Amino acid sequence: MSRTSRKREHVEHALTTGQSGTHGLSDVKFVHNCLPDLAMEQTDMSTCIGGLALSSPIVVNAMTGGASETYSINQSLGIIARETGLALAVGSQMAAIRDSSLVETYRIARREHPHGILFGNLGAEATPEMARRAVEMIEADGLQIHLNVMQELIMPEGERDFSGALRRIEAIVQAVDVPVIVKEVGFGISRETACKLTDCGVAAIDIGGRGGTNFAQIENMRRAQPFAVLNEWGISTAASLLEVATLEVRPDIMATGGIQTGLDTARCLALGASCVGMAGVFLRYAVDGRTEEAIEYVNNLHEELSVIMTALGAPTIAALQRVPLVITGDTYHWAEQRGIN
Ligand code: FNR
């Protein structure tokens, strides 16, 4: 199976499976404040991730590039991000590192979003030289390195040797002159892993929790003999956020994994994230070229978030990160057994 056909299949299966898991964010409750002492127009959603200033805490997260159809997807995503002021990540650039005729399927995102924040993306198998080329390819402001061990293991033609990844990440951090964000793709990041990444000097961690696009399910659809028991594998978005956000020393956090609403965005920010990533939710709009609808969707997300910030008396993302929360259900039990408080 070529890398290009695999990319087509990932898009097709992501559209079919959708986002059906439990991200645990409904376990996170806000404490209503009926004296917020704030006007809605005072709310300011600007934030920072790994030293990069973002005008919105919503990031269109990494999806694709590398196959001819993905050109128009990245073009639509570039337009959506430009018109709404969102940061945007392209999908893994390894295809274009190996075959330069595919570069345009990624570069189109930069052409459509010339002044925006753009993240490059590679896997942890990348060398420092590949990382430099990925950044240069799209004039990236930051570089994401994805960790997707369980996806690879279920993928019929996937990688089976994961040794040396941390060492390579450390070398990439040293080699590139943009912030490096290490991300999961939907199985979550634990505090133990986050500590190792912190020691490597990564600028940010995208916890990429379970509960959104499910790459166990997607790869199982591509297998003759599916490992269906692994479809629920991983740390939920809420639990993973608690794992990493409560560390005394840690980099900035991006929260991804099933986020679709302003309320879930607010919950992630209140748990300590600096921004949220959304991938699957933008895929359908982009595949169908429904950019106007996607822009309306983002405007609505911003308004919803602003309403919640006002109701909580939190004029900024930093203030939202300090509002009181009550954690219930599975997420509460997870935190208790892991000694997180
Ligand atoms: C992804 N994702 C992804 N991540 C990454 O780091 N590199 C990649 O190349 C891809 N490719 C990719 C393709 C498709 C079709 C989808 C839907 C997703 C993972 C993505 O960035 C994100 O972590 C997960 O999709 C979880 O977020 P959502 O979809 O639940 O919002």
Predicted complex ipTM: 0.99
From the CA of 315, how far away is ligand 1's center (Å)? 31
For residues 5 and 24, give the distance between their C-alpha atoms in angstroms, rounded to a whole number.
33
Q: What is the pLDDT of residue 283?
A: 97
For residues 179 and 49, give the distance between their C-alpha atoms in angstroms, rounded to a whole number.
9
Taking the CA atoms of 87, 276, 222 and 99 in sequence, report the sign of the dihedral they define: positive
For residues 139 and 218, give the distance between their C-alpha atoms in angstroms, rounded to a whole number.
31
From the CA of 11, how far away is ligand 1's center (Å)? 10
- Please tell me whether 92 is known to bind a ligand: yes
Instruction: Supply the residue whose CA is at minimum distance from atom 4 of ligand 1.
Output: 62
Tell whether ligand 1 has an atom less than 6 A from the beta carbon of residue 21: no
**Tokens 């330069």, residue?**
100
Q: For ligand 1, pick from 10, 19, 63, 76 the residue to mutate: most ligand atoms within 8 Å of CB.
A: 63
Tell whether ligand 1 has an atom less than 6 A from the beta carbon of residue 257: yes
From the CA of 279, how far away is ligand 1's center (Å)? 6
Residue 87: both structure tokens together: 């940061």
Instruction: Supply the residue whose CA is at minimum distance from atom 10 of ligand 1.
Output: 63
| CA-to-CA separations, 164 to 202, 208, 223, in angstroms, rounded | 16, 21, 27
Please list, residue by residue across 49-81, b when 16 or more beta carbons sit within 10 angstroms of its beta carbon and e when fewer do: bbebebebbbbbbbbbbbbeebbebbbbbbbbb
Contact 234, 214 (CB under 8 A): no
Atom of ligand 1 nearest to the CA of 260: 31
What residue spans of the chain are helical by DSSP H?
3-17, 68-84, 94-98, 104-112, 128-138, 149-154, 165-175, 191-199, 215-221, 237-245, 262-270, 280-287, 291-312, 317-320, 329-337
Cβ neighbors of 337 (< 8 A, separation 6 or more) are: none
Tell whether ligand 1 has an atom less than 6 A from the beta carbon of residue 208: yes
Q: What is the pLDDT of residue 45?
A: 98
- Please tell me whether 238 is known to bind a ligand: no
Spatial CA neighbour of 235 closest among 298, 188, 304: 188
Q: Count the neighbouring beta carbons within 10 Å of the beta carbon of residue 300.
A: 12
From the CA of 188, how far away is ligand 1's center (Å)? 13
Atom of ligand 1 nearest to the CA of 65: 9
From the CA of 255, how far away is ligand 1's center (Å)? 12
Q: pTM of the predicted model, to two decimals?
A: 0.98
From the CA of 227, how far away is ligand 1's center (Å)? 20
Q: What is the pLDDT of residue 1?
A: 65
Tell whether ligand 1 has an atom less than 6 A from the beta carbon of residue 168: no
Atom of ligand 1 nearest to the CA of 62: 21
- Please tell me whether 183 is known to bind a ligand: yes
pLDDT per residue rounded down to tens, the chain (341 residues): 677 788 888 999 999 887 777 999 999 999 999 999 999 999 999 999 999 999 999 999 999 999 988 999 999 999 999 999 999 999 999 999 999 999 999 999 999 999 999 999 999 999 999 999 999 999 999 999 999 999 999 999 999 999 999 999 999 999 999 999 999 999 999 999 999 999 999 999 999 999 999 999 999 999 999 999 999 999 999 999 999 999 999 999 999 999 999 999 999 999 999 999 999 999 999 999 999 999 999 999 999 999 999 999 999 999 999 999 999 999 999 999 999 98
